[in-house]
Structure 1
Amino acid sequence: MSTTAIINARVFDGDRPLEATTVVFDRTGILAVGGEAPAGAEIVDAAGGTLLPGLIDAHVHTNEQALALDLRFGVTTALEMQGNHTAGNRAHITENDAVADIRSSGFAITPPGGHPSELFPEGFRPGPPPGARGPKPSEPAPLMPFSTTPEEAVGFIPQLVERGSDYIKFMVDDGSVEGHPGLPMLDRATLSAGVAEAKKHGMLTVAHALTIEATRMAIESGIDGLVHLFMEGPHTEEIITLIRDAGAFVVPCVVLNASMMGITGDELADDPRVASRLDEQWMKTLRSSFGHYPQGRLGDVFGSVRALRDAGVDLLVGTDASAPFEFLGGLAHGASVHHELQYLVRAGLTPVEALHAATSTTARRFGLTDRGRIAEGLRADLLLVDGDPTTTISDTLNTRAVWRRGSRLTHA
C-alpha cells in the first residue's frame, strides 16, 4: 500500500493551525502529523498552500453525480437531510473514492401534503437526475413517514432506525416563508412524541424550521439541532437564549436563506474557480434563486448568525443544495459550501470559526469520530489549497488536491 507525505504545508487540523508541516497517510488513514517524510513515500510539496480536513456539507439532497461534484470542491462528506442514502443503500458510495461519502436521515417525518411538497410546480415529475443510479430490485422502497398524530410519529421511529437512518429529521413548517401559508404542519404533541421516541433509540434529532415560532417549537420539543435558520425577521434575545440553553446546534444555510429572498448565486458563479467546475445546467441553477420570500433581509440573517456565535451555539456549514432546476436555484453542490463559508465570515465569524463549522464541529455534533480533523488514526479525507483560508476564507476555492480515504482525486 503506497504512502503519501505532504510536506511544507500550513496545516489546519480542524481546530487550529499547527506548527507541523508534514502529514503522512495511506489508504488506512493518517499515519503521522509532523516529523519527517518516510523513505519511499510519494512526496507532495505543499509550499505556499494549506492542508485542511475534507469539508463537510451538513445539509444536502443528493445523488452520485452531485456527490462527485462535491468531491471536486473538496467536500468529502455530505449529510443528506431527505433522501434514500440510508445505511443499506449506500455501499456503492461508501466504496467509491471518486465521490463524497454520505450519511442520511432517510425521509423526514411530516404530515401528508406538508413541506416540501409545495416547492414543486404542479404536475412536476423530475424522474431520476441524468446519470443517477436507479434502485436495485433488492432495495426496499423508501419509507415515507407521514404523520399526523403522536402515535404515528412514534410508530415510524423504529422503522426509520431499522431502515438505516443515521439521524431523524422532522419538518416544522407552516409554509408561510415559501408563500404557502396554512401548509399541513406537525403539531407540538406529534413532534414532541417523535423526538422523545427517537431519543429512546439513541438517535440524533434534527428539525427543518424557517420561522422563530417553528424554531421555538422544535427546541421546546427537545430537538438536538436545527438544519435551517429562521429568516422572517431579526432574532430575539429570547430565541437565542433558548437555543443556547438547550445545547442545540444550528446549520444556518445562509445560502438558502439568501436564495429564498431572491438573491442569486451570481457572485459565486462569476468566480472562475467555480465556473470551471460546473456544467451549463448547474451554472443556470446557481444564477437563479428560490425567490419565495423577497421581503426577507439578509442583514437580519447575518445578525442572527452573529448572535448565535456570540452565545456559544455550535454553527455548522450546510447548503440545502439539491437538483439542477432553476426553481431550486442559487445553490450548487460543493461550490455552495465555499459560498456559505464566505457568508459566515461576512456575518462576523472569523475564517477559523467558519472552518470549524465545515470540519470538526460538524463531525463532533453528528458523531463522525473518524473525520473532520487531521490527526493520527483518522481517515485521510484531505483538501490542499493554495493560500491560507485561516486568514482569507475564499482561498478554500484554490483547490490543489483532494484525497478521500487517502485516494487522490485525479480531476479536482
Structure 2
Amino acid sequence: MHTTVFEYGYLTCDQAACDEFSAKLISKNDFNYLKEVSLSADESETNKCLGLTKRYGYELIQVKNYVGVLFTPTGEHIEVLPKTGRKAENSQQAIVESRQMLLMMLQHLGSFRYVASNQASIATKQMPLLEVFISQFLQSVNALVKRGLKSDYVTQEDSLHFQKGKLKVSQQIRYNVVNKHKFYVEYDEYLINRPANRLIKTALLKLSNYTRLATNQKLLRELQFAFADVPSCKSVKQDISALKLDRGMVDYHSPIAWAKLILDGFSPLSMKGDNSALSLLFPMEAVFESYVASVLRSQLADDAELTTQASSKYLVTHNGRRQFQLKPDLLLTLTDNSKLVLDTKWKLLDLEDHNYGLSQSDLYQMFAYGHKYLNGTGDLLLIYPAHSGFEKPIEFSFDYSESLRLWVVPFVSDLQGDSYLIWPEGFSFNALIS
C-alpha cells in the first residue's frame, strides 16, 4: 500500500482529523513510528523532513519541503510530492503531473542523473515514485545482463591436488604437513565474482522487501536468477571501495549508481529508526536549484559562464580572518567581467500577500550578495517557480540603491522539457541567451 501527500501536507491516524485538515490517513502503527522518528531525529536528519504538531486537540505529522518516499516498518510507503500550483491538489492529474515534474528535475541532481522521466509511458505515470525508481534500476540491470556481465581476475587461496600459481609455504606447512600430496596455493581465476556484480546482486536482494508491483517483482526474480552465480557482498563498504569501472564497463555506470543508492538506504537522506525503515527524500530547494542551473546553462550564450554555489566572498573579516561565507545559488559572468547574481527559492509566491509573500531574510541575503559579489552595483534575481498566480515577473524592481536592483522572476518548468526563465521587461538579457 502507499499514500500520496503533497509537501507541507499532514498525516494522521484519526479519521476526524483527516476530514478537518485534509490530512492523509495512515495506520496508527505507522503514525506512532513516524512520530517517534520525528521526535528522536537529530538536527542533521529527519526533523528537517517531518514535524509533529497539534491543532485543535489533534496530533498531526506535517511533511516539510522534502519530497520522495517515506518507508514504515509495516511495509507501507508514503509518497511526498512537490506542490506545483497547477491543478486542484489531490486530483489524480495533479498527482501525475507533480510526480512527472519531480522525475524530470531529478535528472539534473547529482547521482540521480540516471533517472529517466519516461514522458511517453502511461504505466510510469501511474506508478508511485518508489516503484518508478525500482523499475529504472531493474531496467538498467536488465540491459546490462543482455550485454553480458563482466568477469575479472580474482585472487583465490586453496589446497589443491596440483600446484597452480604461487605456493604459500607457511600455509602449506600449517595445513598440509600430513596431506603432502596437496598444495596450498594462491592463484588468480577469471570469475564473475567481482565487486560490481556483488553490489548489484546485493541491491537486487534488498529490493525484494520493497517492491509490490507485479511487473517489478517478475523482472526482479528473473534478474536474481541471472545473478545466481554471483555471491552477495560480505561488506558493502569494502566492495564500494574496491570498485573499479574501467572503459570497458560503461554499461555498469547506471546500475551501479542505482545500486549504491539502494544499498545506502535509498539516500540521499536515510531515516533509520529501531525498525530500520528507510527513506528516499530530496530537499526541493536543492532539486529546484539544480534544475534551474541546468536549464540556464543549456540556454546561455557561449561567452556567459554560470557558476553554481559561488563561495569566494565572505560577509565579514574578523581579526584578520574571513567569516560567514556567502554562497549564492548561481553567479553569471560575462566576457566583460560583469556579473549577475541569481538565487532560487522553492516557494509558491502569492502576490496578494503582504510584500508579495517575500521573506525579509531573503532580501537581506540578496543585499549581502549584491554588495560582496557586485560591489553594490548591478542586478540580482530571485527565482521562484511559476504557477497560475505568478506567471510573469513582479513589475518593478526592488531597489537597494540607485545602482543595485533586485528582480523577482518566475521559472517555468515544462513537462515536455521546454523549461525557461522569464526575464523582467526592459532587463538587458539578450546578450546572455544563445
TM over 0.5, shorter chain? no
Greater length-normalized contact order (CA 8 Å, ≥ 6 residues apart) = 1
Q: Which has the larger radius of gyration?
A: 2
More strand by share: 2
TM value normalised by structure 2: 0.24
TM value normalised by structure 1: 0.25
More helix by share: 2
